[in-house]
Structure formats: C-alpha cells, structure tokens
Structure 1
C-alpha cells in the first residue's frame, strides 16, 4: 500500500531506521560507559549516575541467578516509578529473564491472576504491598519475594522521615526481615557481585516483557513484546524528537513504567540517549508543578488527564513551566482545547500520538516541529510502520475518508498474547495487527480515530462516535473532564449519556450544557442524559474507564428491573 504520509516527513526523519541486533539492556551497558557520570535519575532529591544504575542492575541480575533464574523465566515488578523500578527492570533482562510489569494498585485477586497467568517465579514489590503478595503466594508459582521501600532511595533526612509520612498516609507500617524466601533489595545491593553475565540472545524471538492489557473488557491478556519490538519503538520515538540532544535532555517520568508508554517513551529512550529521568511515583498536580519548576524538564510525555490536572490547578501561574519544549500525549484522545492551553502556558509543543500495548506502543504521531498541527488527528505513521483502514464488512482496504478498522504492520507489533493462540490469531492476520479502533485516513495521509469498535454507540439506527461528542463538551469553558457512553434504551437501542467533571469554581447546568451541545452537533448525537461527578474512574495512566461506567449503568438497570 502506498505510504502517502511520507511526503510530510521532514528531512531529519528517515523513512527507514537501522535497529541494532542487541538486547534492550545493552543500551544501559553503553550508557554506563558513554555517560558514566551523567545523572540518570532524579528521585525526590536523590540522584543516581548511569554508572551507579548499571552497577546496581548487574548486582540485581547476579542475585537473581543465585536464586535460580534461567533464561525465559518470568520475574515480576510491582512498583511505582522509583530508581528500584529502573534497576530491577534492567537487572531482570541482564539475567535473561522476562519482565512481568504489574500495577502497584492491584489488590489480591488481581495480583493472584497475573502471577498465575504469567507463571512468575519471583516478584519485587514495596514493603507496604508485601502483605498483599504474601496472602496469594501459595496460589501462584512464586518462589521468592524481594522487598524494597520508597525510603531506600531517598536522601538524608527524607529517608528517616518518610516511613512516618507513609504510615500516616496509608495507615500501615510493615517490617520485613531478610531471610528464607523473602529478600530485601538493600541487602542484595550491599552483598551481590556486579558481574557481567553472558546470556544467549535472539533479537527477533526473545521476549523482554509481558505487559498486560488494561482488562477493561474481560480478563487482562499478557502482551508478548520482544527486545526487537521495544528497541524498534524507542528508536522510532527518538527519530521523531530529532531536535533533542543526546546526553542533555531531562524527561519528566510521570507515566508509569508498568505501562508500555512510560517504559518506552521515558525509561528505554532515556537510557538509549543518556537523558536524565525525573521520576515521580504518582501524579499529584502540586508536586508535579513544583518538580517542573525546580528540575526544569525539557520533555514531558503524558496523558491528557495529567495535562488537564495541571491546567486546572489554581496556582499554576506561580510556577515556571517554560523549560518544557516537547510533549507527546498518548493513552487517550487529546482534546484540542487542552493542547492549546498547555502550549500557551509552557511555550512548548504538545502533540497527540497513538498506539496500543500490542504495538509497544507507538504507531502514529503528529509532528512536533516544522509542520502545522492537524486538528483532531493522531498524525501519521512512524518510520517503518504501515497503517491501513480495513472494511468491517468485506475485510478489504478502504480508500481515504472511509471509516473502518485501523490495522498496523511493523517491527513494533507484538509476538502475540501469552498462552492465548486463538486470541492472537483473531487480531494478527497476514502480519497486520487489527486494533479494534475505528478511524479513517484523509487524502493527505493523516489518520483520525473515530472510536473503539466496542465503544461505538448505535442509537436509533445511527452510528455515533463518543470522541466526536467529547471534543465538543471539552470546548465548554466550565468543563474539566468528560466521557460519553451508550446506555441501554428500550426505544432507540442505546442513548447517549455524558459524564462531566466541572472545573473548580465553575458552574453550569444540564440545560445550559445541552443548549451548547445543540449548537455544535446534529440532534441525534447530542447527549440525552448528563451526570455531573467530582471525578471519573481511570486507569493508572489516566485513561478514563468508559467500560466501567457502562457496566455501572447496566447494573443500575438490572437492579431497577428486579425492584419493578
């Protein structure tokens, strides 16, 4: 298929990239030599050089070998963004293991499911999360639990004070002893040997990680991503930010590393290019603004909800955000209003990108520089990436401006779903990954998302795409966040409902909002029901859980029918 989007590429972005036949961890070995004394990580006042991160990762790897880890064994990480999450990630790869990324917000049932599904032998987690893991250990393949604490990598005197803050905040204080099948990371890093390990390696076939999909519908699936997948995607990202300088940029690391967007766009890219990662273990608007003001990051990959949270902080004008020059937004659609506001405050560029866990994740992006922003578009495919729109009826490729399912082909496309050959075959066909997203490509080669195949609303015979309606709601001056879903309707099949979070000190009514919407949308697209909320359910990366709201509505109707 003709790649008509290539005509827009600036000369700095090549159509094809060279991918070095080496494992992901080889880039840390190189960074430790080339940028040995450069700061690799800033974490709440503590800074680590590339040399020290490399040494700690090798120690962790050697300890894993001591515990019996063989090539291909799965080792889980259940941590927020901390130095430990970087050290352990590369340590597992050095040992020949496969990283299993786990959300630290998981409860026992979710932990047990993912450990059972992945077959992980070892897990590294926080002291305050240890009780959850210990409760389910006997129902899994876990042989060892390695424990760390936030305070382990804090500077003095924060390391002494933090346990008291943690106890007050979470109401829990856990004392874990080093011994038996429980191990303390602090002891490992004191005693283990920092020796290079020689592990056989296959660039095309060897898995680097199992990254689980969000599980908003059905059980989460383990996405098998190879070393080639991750290196290809990080290289594509690097090619896109061609004005960034090796060894000099500072990336704000709010996107969690247990999500593939944060893993590639922050962690792997930083190590590949010697950037400094400014890590935050969770998103808090005020802490983030203070961190940007003090640490002056130059790059800020994020999700729309993060930018929205900052923009709506009452004291944002007190902070200097002018260091930020490049923001790639992913995980959810970026409202144009939010993009324009954030660019105005920072003076930098914010562009929408697109990708999925199954594509490591990036496939499309708008140009950061030297091109006008195409409103509402996810941009054009990255180097070495093919994209096409396929008909939902015939399965044939469609011409420009016709809506169908977006499919992707390229070196970043996953190997498949872990232990799920049938589901893999359903979405991987003839080298194409069928995304489940509906969209179109215009005659200029720019792609547009209409909606998830599963999220499309059919009301009174009309196909209605929530994103189009959400874009309009966001244009209302009182709206901070919004999401649109289809709820069951006995007459129309489905009815459009909007959930809205208002900005602080802003007001509007259902009537006013409805009048506003009718000025911008055909009558059949205008929400019939509005519900104002203080917050919306979200995933760890800030993606609004539309499916959770749909399920909520269905349960409500079931309860009403029971009473009736």
Structure 2
C-alpha cells in the first residue's frame, strides 16, 4: 500500500468525518475534502512539470501545507524534500541543490533566497504573493480524480536530511513502506480508533511528525496541527483541540512536569502520549501528575520506529520490543551478538521499511551497514523478555530540543574564525533532561578572543538551534595518544578549569 492508497482507504471508511483540525478555527477539513484537495494539488504540481521520481523542495513551518504536500507527492510518485526553516540560506541552498529539486515551495523570503537552483523549473509561494511564483492556494483546487500514475509501495516518497558525525547532512531516501507499515503498527500499539484526535506539534519536516500524521490516517483518526510546542499553552491547546493522543520528545515532558500547575492539566481528554527519550523517573512523574499514559519507543529517520512498548504491554524503563517489521540485535564492535543483558550497539536488519539509501552517497550508505545490519550508533541492551533499554549514544551526535546536531559542523564554523586556533564541541545535560551545547575554544596566539565575537560569528553562519549555549575559552585542549582532541575527558569533566559563560539564545 502506498501513502496515497492509505489515505483513500481511510476516506472509504471515514468519508465526511473530520480529519484536519486547526486549533482556534471553527472549520475542519473532512477526510473526503482533504483527499480531493490532495488530488488537486497533485494535478497542479504535475502541471508545473513534476514527474515521477523528481523532487519538490519545501521550506515551511508546521502547518497544513506540509500535510497536503506529503500526500500529494505520494500520489504523484514524486519525492518530498522538506527542510527546517531555521537553517541558514547557505545550508538550505546546499541541500536543495543536492536533492535536485525541480519545484521550490515557501514564502517570499525563501523563494527570493533560492532563485538559482540548477534544476529549478517553478516556484510556489505560500502567503504573500510574489511575481513569477504560483500561489499555493491556486493549486489546492479539489478534484475527484486521483492522478492516473503507477506508484509502487517501494518507490521513494520523501528525502529527509539528518546530521552525520562528519557534520555534513545525509539524505535518507524513504519509500511509502517506510511510513505505511509502521503506521498500521502504531494503531495497534496505541489502540487508535476513529474517535481519537491526534495533536501534532512535532515538525512535519522530520520523520516523527510525518509518521505521526500517517498513523492518524491509518487509524481513521483526526489530527490537530500546532505550529510548535509550547509548555505554557500546552494544556490549553489540548483542551481546545479535544486531543486524545500526543507525540512527545523527552524534553517536552520535562518542561511540562517542571511547569507551574495549570487549571486544565487534569481537565482534558488526553489518554496516551507516545515518544522517546524520557527517563523512567520523568515518565512516572508525568503519569502521576497529569493522569496520562506514556508509551516509550525508539527509532531513527533511517528506520522509523524500531522498538516500542504498547498501551497493553510495556515495561518500565524500557524502549520496548522490536516492531513486527524489524529484526533487532545487540552486537559488539566485531558484529557479534552479545549475551542477554550485555551492553552493545543496537543494530537493525535491513528491510523494506528502512531507508533505501543515503541519497547520492553510496560509500556512506555502505559504511552504515555491516553484513546487512544497520549500525545505529546507539548503545543498549536487551533483557530475557525481549525488552530493550537505551544506554547512551555511541556516535558523536548532540540531540538538542529534538534536533540531531553534529559537533563537527559547529567546530568547522568556529575554526574558520580568524582568532580561533582550535575548537571542540560537546553535548552537556540541560535542565530539562535533554542535551545542550558547549564549545571549548583555543584562541590564536596573541588574540583577544571574546565570547561575544564568537556568538556573533556563529549566528552569522549557523542555524539558531546549533549555536552553543555554554562557552569556555581555554589555553589548551586535552589530546589523545593520536593527538586528537580528547572529547571523552571533556564530557567527563565538562570544564577545563576556566570560566564557563552561559549565553541567552533565541527561542527555537
């Protein structure tokens, strides 16, 4: 089944039942109307010259446009390339060029910034009109007819960029199977019914947000979209939307648990929260305070959900059992499965749910697998009942507020500063139970380097969510026997004995 077929199957059952709900707006979009608008958008994109297998780039905040585009591209047989609007123009330009996008969709500022993409045929504007660009709403004309195109479940439907340890983003090329098969399993784990209403605030330019939306369709449920998570407005939004199911990141639960009492925090319909990255004690505190069941799982952009608990069966502290469509093992560095209870790398057998490849990166794709097993770079262990537990990250990635950030990319920017001799970036604990970013910087000899100048430099060259919060200017950085920066020592000590500066960052 393709994503387009998933939607049409839901329409046959749901018909005029609500599907898309905008909080604060009286109007809802039924399954039937949403499907007809998706058809119209697919025809409109086809008229702009988008052919099967070609890519459409999108730079938009969370909103219904991304949901329409995901299913329209699915019916068209094209590939959706959604990018985080918080990326810099240079970062976006490199990714849009690499993805070979033929149509770009965004606001006027985005379109003005990316007029010279090598394969670009057309631009579509959302919001303010722009000369030479097609208004998005003109493409959203309802049509009864699905495009007469052959699309297979194994065909690519999305290209999602995720940071790698080299600092260069990797494009995960995902098929319809990557979404549809896990969506049906999610319905089973959470016991979703057509009476459920999902509240989606995770970005639709990430796997978690897209997969959550596909799961709503698989269950015939409705979905209320929120532009971004807000701890102060969360319970008000839950109440206004009538949400029953929510998808979290661990930091979100921490923020809610630490927030002052809200008059609506026990007056709601929310029955289940699904997500990953929350500590066992945090889950317990959340469930006791708000009376909502939390179901933990584990997955990556490359794999969608790999491990999950369920409403019916779960184990405290675990990230669940292997999903029916995945084979999982814990292995040592030599690729040998370790004994039950022993810590090793979480590895996943290659299958049709996983990404097809890292786009235009065959060597990187090959290195990601060992004899057919995908190397997640995460350490964990499995107990005698088949439940898995996350221990730590093996690879050098910082996860901050739901974003995977490569320290190497930040170090590359810092090292280009004329007064920086060398830098090292690590993840440090934040007060919400997640991670934040600290930079250690060695000045060049004789320079008078300041944190203010470093901050200005980073804001010029990095997306806001990549800018370090903590800074330490130091005379030397610890080295390993092979003269590499000893990040293990930096993580263990967190300081080299100098002054740690904390800066105020933009809200992201």
Using the size of structure 2 for normalisation, the TM-score is: 0.78
SS in 1 for 2:3: coil
Structure 2 counterparts to residues 451-530 of structure 1, below 5 A: 451-455=392-396, 479-481=431-433, 483=435, 488-489=477-478, 493-494=486-487
Q: Does 1:274 pair with 2:220? A: yes
Distance 2:216 2:182 in 1: 13
* Bigger proportion of residues as helix: 1
Cα–Cα, structure 1 residues 442 and 293, in superposed 2: closer, same or farther, change >3 Å?
A: same
Does the CA contact (< 8 Å) of 1:365 and 1:380 recur in 2?
yes
Aligned-CA RMSD value: 2.9
Residue by residue, what CA displacement relative to the aligned partner does 1:195-247 show, whole Å, maximum 9, x if unpaired?
A: 3212123323x101111113564211110111122212212222222x322x1
Residue by residue, what CA displacement relative to the aligned partner does 1:439-472 show, whole Å, maximum 9, x if unpaired?
A: 2223332222222222499xxxxxxxxxxxxxx9
Q: Does 1:344 pair with 2:293? A: no
Using the size of structure 1 for normalisation, the TM-score is: 0.71
Cα–Cα, structure 1 residues 485 and 255, in superposed 2: closer, same or farther, change >3 Å?
A: closer
Structure 2 counterparts to residues 359-438 of structure 1, below 5 A: 359=303, 361-371=304-314, 373-375=315-317, 377-392=318-333, 394-409=334-349, 410-438=351-379
Cα–Cα, structure 1 residues 534 and 343, in superposed 2: closer, same or farther, change >3 Å?
A: farther
**Which residue of 1 is the match for residue 236 of structure 2?**
290
> How many residues are matched?
433
Cα–Cα, structure 1 residues 496 and 533, in superposed 2: closer, same or farther, change >3 Å?
A: farther
**Which residue of 2 is the match for residue 104 of structure 1?**
85
Does the CA contact (< 8 Å) of 2:197 and 2:244 recur in 1?
yes
Distance 1:203 1:480 in 2: 39
Does the CA contact (< 8 Å) of 1:485 and 1:496 recur in 2?
no
Q: Does 1:183 pair with 2:126? A: no
Distance 1:97 1:495 in 2: 43
Residue by residue, what CA displacement relative to the aligned partner does 1:230-284 show, whole Å, maximum 9, x if unpaired?
A: 212212222222x322x111111011111111111x2111112211101101122
Cα–Cα, structure 1 residues 314 and 429, in superposed 2: closer, same or farther, change >3 Å?
A: same
288, 293, 307: which one pairs with 2:253? 307
Does the CA contact (< 8 Å) of 1:484 and 1:497 recur in 2?
no
SS in 2 for 1:293: helix
**Which residue of 1 is the match for residue 466 of structure 2?**
none
Does the CA contact (< 8 Å) of 1:40 and 1:49 recur in 2?
yes
Per-residue deviation at 1:367? 3.2
Q: Does 1:27 pair with 2:6? A: yes
5+ unaligned residues in a row in structure 1: which ranges?
1-21, 150-174, 458-471, 499-524, 541-564
Distance 1:76 1:343 in 2: 39
SS in 2 for 1:439: strand
Per-residue deviation at 1:112? 0.4
Per-residue deviation at 1:495? 6.0
Distance 1:456 1:207 in 2: 27
Distance 1:136 1:456 in 2: 29
Distance 2:501 2:340 in 1: 38
Distance 1:351 1:193 in 2: 39
**Which residue of 2 is the match for residue 77 of structure 1?**
58
Cα–Cα, structure 1 residues 201 and 482, in superposed 2: closer, same or farther, change >3 Å?
A: closer
Distance 2:236 2:502 in 1: 28
Q: Does 1:202 pair with 2:143? A: no
Per-residue deviation at 1:435? 0.9
Structure 2 counterparts to residues 86-165 of structure 1, below 5 A: 86-125=67-106, 127=107, 130-149=108-127
**Which residue of 1 is the match for residue 192 of structure 2?**
244
Q: Does 1:259 pair with 2:199? A: no
Per-residue deviation at 1:110? 1.7
**Which residue of 2 is the match for residue 448 of structure 1?**
389
SS in 1 for 2:389: strand
Distance 2:163 2:257 in 1: 27
Distance 1:262 1:449 in 2: 22
Cα–Cα, structure 1 residues 351 and 212, in superposed 2: closer, same or farther, change >3 Å?
A: same
Per-residue deviation at 1:485? 8.3
**Which residue of 1 is the match for residue 451 of structure 2?**
none
Distance 2:117 2:167 in 1: 21
Does the CA contact (< 8 Å) of 1:77 and 1:89 recur in 2?
no
Does the CA contact (< 8 Å) of 2:429 and 2:436 recur in 1?
no
Distance 1:352 1:537 in 2: 30
Per-residue deviation at 1:490? 5.4
280, 295, 299: which one pairs with 1:355? 299
Residue by residue, what CA displacement relative to the aligned partner does 1:100-154 show, whole Å, maximum 9, x if unpaired?
A: 12112222112101111110111222x3xx22332222144222111123xxxxx
* Bigger proportion of residues as strand: 2
Per-residue deviation at 1:322? 4.0
Cα–Cα, structure 1 residues 29 and 444, in superposed 2: closer, same or farther, change >3 Å?
A: closer
Distance 1:534 1:250 in 2: 39
Cα–Cα, structure 1 residues 95 and 355, in superposed 2: closer, same or farther, change >3 Å?
A: same
Cα–Cα, structure 1 residues 77 and 528, in superposed 2: closer, same or farther, change >3 Å?
A: closer
Distance 1:244 1:75 in 2: 32
SS in 1 for 2:287: helix
Does the CA contact (< 8 Å) of 1:321 and 1:345 recur in 2?
no
Distance 1:97 1:412 in 2: 18
